[in-house]
Structure 1
Amino acid sequence: MTTRSTPVEEKRADGASVRIGTLVPLTRPGWVEAGQHLLAGLELAVGEVNDAGGVGGRPLELVVRDTAADPQKAAAAVDELAQLGVAALAGEYHSVVARAAATRADALGLPYLCSSSVLDTLTPERQTDWVARLSPPQSRGWRIYADFLLAAGHSRIAVATQPSVYWASGTRILRDHLAPHGATVIELDMRSLSPTALCDALVDNRATALLLLVGHPEPAVPIVKSVRGDQRLAEIVIGAPAGQPEFAEWATSLGEDGTGIPFLRYLPERLTPLGARVETALRERLTQAPSFVAYEGYDTVTVLADVLRSQGTDRARIAESWPRVTVEGTRGQIRFSRTPGISVWQWAWPPVQVVDRDPAEPERFRVLHTG
C-alpha cells in the first residue's frame, strides 16, 4: 500500500495536527490522472486552510493512501486510518472502491465525505449517517445523459460493457429511462467481442450511438480507434458518460479520434468567485486545466474544515453535522439532504453537464446539454 506524506505531515509529526484519512488511486489499474487531480484539489485546500490558521489553531493534515482501484485495499486502508486516529475520511474516485470504503467506514463509525464516486447505494446494506457525498448520484447524472441522447434523436443505443457493479448500474439506469420513450438499449459484452467484432455488431443492430461502459485505456482506446476507422460507422455517435474524455491522457491516446465524444462533467456554467480563484491555483499546480475532479477534492476539504471548526474532532459529532452544513464551494453552495433511493447524505444539486472535446480545438470543451 502506497503511503504519501503531505508537506504538513512531514513538518508536524508530533501529533498536534488534525488528521484526515485520504483515499485516492495513484497507481494502476486505478485511473492515476484522476487520482492526481483529486489529490491536487485536496492538497490545495489543506494548504489554504493552514495558511489561514488551521482548525482551532491546529494544522490540518492529509494522511494519504493509494487504493489503486482495489476495493479490498481501500477497506484495509480505512481500517488502518481509523486506528491512526483520523477525524474523518475523504476522497476516492472509483465508485466500486468508494463503496467498499463507505461500507467499512459505516461499520467502524468513521465519518466519510466521498468526493467523486457516484453509485447510488454507496452503503448497499443500509442507509447510513456516517457517509456524505459531493458528487451527484449515478441515477441523476446518467438520466440527464439519457435525456441528451433522446434530444439528439437516438433510439437505438448500443453499450459496450464489462463486468462491474458500476457499469451494470449505468446500463440499468439508461434502459429504464430510455425505454418509456421508445428507445432501445443494446448490450454488447466486451468479454466476447473484439473491437472489430463490435463494429460488425453495431452495423447488424443498426445502432446510432455507442456508449463506452468500459475501462480506460483498455479496451476503450482500441474500441474508439476501431469504430472511427470503420466507414460503415461514419455517422455513429460515440459517448462516454463515465467521463473518460475529461482527462489529458484521453486526448494524448486518441488525438482527433477522441474528440466529439460526449461525457458527463460536474461543473456549472460559471464557477463561483471562489472557484475562479481556485481554478487559477489548480492550473498552476497541475500545469494543465483542472478537471471537475480537482474541484471535488478542493470542496471536500472546504466542507470538512468547516465541520471540524464547528464540531471539533469527535467522530460522532462530525457525522451528526452533515444535515447542518452550509458551505460555499467552488461550484455552488453545498448542503446535504436525504434523497430517495440514496443511502448516504447527498449534496442534492451538484451541477451536471454533457460536454465533448471540440474537434476543431481538442483542448476546448463544448457544453452540449445541462441538467
Structure 2
Amino acid sequence: MSGFKRGLALIACAGLVACGAGEPIRIGFIGGLSDRNSDVGQSGERGVQLAVERINRAGGINGRLVELVSRDDAQDPAVAARSAGELAAAGVEAVIGPFTSGMAAAILPVTAKAGILNISPTLTAMDYYGKDDNLVRINRTTRDNATDYARVMFARGQRRVAVAYDTRNLKFTESWLAEFRQAYAAAGGRLAGEVPYHSQPDADFAGVVRAMLKEHPDGLFFISGAIDVARLAKEARAQAPGLPIGASEWAATEQLLDLGGHMVDGLLIVLNFDGDDESPRFVEFREAYYRRFQRDPGYSSISAYDAATVLFEALRRRRGDEPVKAAVLNYGPYQGLQQRIAFDANGDTQRKVFFNEIRDGRFRPLAVDPR
C-alpha cells in the first residue's frame, strides 16, 4: 500500500472511532514506511498507533479523540517534502517524525513554513542540536553516542578500528563518524580506514569489507541501518572471522536479529532503552505492543511512544492558543516508558543508553560504564 493510501486508511479508521466525539485532534506521523531501512519508520508508526489507541480508549485529550494522519517519506527527499506538505494541508497540530537525519532536511522547512512542530523520536545528528526551531527531539546526539562507543571500544582492547558508513543517510553518518573520530583519538585509538558506500540492494558489501581490512584493523564498525549491517556482518565473518564487530544505534532493530542470525553474534551495539526492564509500566507496554503487533518493541517504537506521550500531555495542558512547542517546553518534564524526558530551551534532551552484545538472537545488556 502506498504511503498516501496508507494515510487515508488510518484517517478513515480514526474517523470511525471519533464519530460523535466532536472535532478530533489531528496528529501527523512521517517516517520511512517503504524502501530500505523502513524497519525504523514502521516500528515508530506502530508505537504511535498504540499511543493513539490508548489515549482514545481513555477519552482522548480534553474530551477530543486523536486522529492519526500518517505519511511515508520513502527515504526520498522529494517524497518527504511532498508528504510533509500533505500533513500541513490536513491541519495536523504537530508531526511525530522524521526518523532519519537525511529526511529531516527535506521535511523541516515545509512544516516550519506551516507553523507545525516536529517531535522526532530518533534524530541525533549535530545539525539539529542547539537550535531554536520547529523541532524537539526525544534522543541524545551523535556526539553523546559516538563518544560513549569510543570509550567502550577502547576499554575492550580495540586500538585500530575500520569504519564503513552509508552515504544514503549522510547527515547522520558523517556526523556520527566525525564525533567518533575525535573521541576515539582522544581515548588513544585511531581509525584504520573510513569506507563510504551507498546503500542499495546490489551494493558490493564484500568489497566494502575488503576495503575495511586493508590496513589490518583490530575491529570493524558499521554506521548503517539494520539490513546493511546484517550483510556487512556476514562478509566480515567470511573474510575476518575472529575480528570484533560493532554497529551504531541506527541498526538496533529487531530486523537486525532476524536478518543477521548467528552472523551478528558478538556484535556490539547500543540501545536507548533497557530491554530487561521489569517495571510495571514497561512490562504493560511490552505486552500490549506484542498483543497488538505480534512482535517485540524496539528502540524506534519505544521512542515514538514516548514522543506521543510528550505531545499528548502538552496538548492536554496547553492554554488557549499557546503554540505547541511552547506547551511542550513549558509543561515538562514528562514520564516516558523508562526515563523522564526534560527539554532545554531549544527542545533538546538527554537519554540514558545501554550497551548490548548480540547473543543467541537477542540483545544482551553489558555491564559497562562509558564514563
Cα deviations by residue, 1:43-91 (Å, 9 ceiling, x for unpaired)? 1111111111111111011100011112332222222212221111112
Residues 161, 213 of structure 1: 8 Å contact kept: yes
Rounded to whole Å, the distance in 2 between the matches of 1:115 and 1:195 is: 29
TM-score, length of structure 2 as denominator length: 0.87
- Matched residues in 2 for 1:9 and 1:36: separation? 21
Question: 1:321 aligns to what SS in structure 2?
Answer: helix
Q: Deviations over 1:164-199 (max 9, x none)?
A: 2221111101111111222111212336x9444444
Structure 2 unaligned blocks of 5 or more: none
Moved more, 11-20 or 247-256: 11-20
2:141 to 137, 142, 145: 137
Q: TM-score, normalised by structure 1?
A: 0.87
Secondary structure of 1:336's counterpart equals: coil
The percent of aligned pairs where both chains have the same amino acid is 22
Residue 229 (1) aligns with residue 238 (2)? yes
Q: Quote the Cα distance in structure 2 between the aligned partners of 1:370 and 1:38.
A: 28
Q: 1:232-264: per-residue Cα shift (whole Å, max 9, x none)?
A: x233111111342x3333233231102211112
- Runs (4+) of structure 1 exceeding 6 A deviation are none
- Alignment partner, residue 357 of structure 1: 358
Q: How does 1:79-228 map to 2 (within 5 A)?
A: 79-122=85-128, 127-163=131-167, 164-185=170-191, 186-190=193-197, 194-218=204-228, 220-228=229-237
Describe the SS at the equivalent of 1:121: helix
Give, in angstroms, the shift of residue 25 of structure 1.
Answer: 1.6
1:130-169 per-residue CA deviation (whole Å, 9 max, x = no partner) reads 3211021111112111111111121101001232222111
* Aligned equivalents of 1:198, 1:28: Cα separation in 2: 21
Distance 1:10 1:74 in 2: 28
The residue that corresponds to 1:366 in the other structure is 365
Q: For 2:119 and 2:283, locate their aligned partners in 1 and report how far apart those are by CA, in whole Å.
A: 23
Equivalent residues in 2 for 1:321-340 (5 A)?
A: 321-324=327-330, 325-338=332-345
Report the count of equivalent residues. 354
Match of 1:341 in 2: none
Q: What does residue range 57-76 of structure 1 map to in structure 2 within 5 Å?
A: 57-76=63-82
Of 266, 272, 282, which residue of structure 2 is paired with 1:266? 272
1:5-37: CA deviations, max 9, x gaps?
3332344478710001111221113x2222222
Aligned counterpart, 1:18? 25
1:345 matched to 2:328? The reply is: no
Q: CA deviation at 1:311?
A: 1.2
Check conservation: 1:352, 1:370, Cα contact below 8 A: no
- Which has the larger helix fraction? 2
Q: Which amino acid aligns with 1:234?
A: P
Please tell me whether the aligned partners of residues 119 and 137 of structure 1 are also in contact (alpha carbons under 8 angstroms): yes
Alpha-carbon deviation of 1:217? 2.7
**What letter matches 1:109 in structure 2?**
G
**3-state SS, counterpart of residue 345 of structure 1:** coil
What CA distance in whole angstroms lies between the structure 2 residues aligned with 1:188 and 1:368? 30
Aligned-partner SS, 1:255:
helix
Higher relative contact order (CA 8 A, sep 6+): 1
- Provide the alpha-carbon RMSD of the alignment: 2.5
AA of the residue aligned to 2:232: I
Q: Shift of residue 203 of structure 1?
A: 4.1
How far apart, in 2, do the equivalents of 1:13 and 1:286 lie?
25
Aligned equivalents of 2:142, 2:149: Cα separation in 1: 10
| 2:237 partner amino acid | R
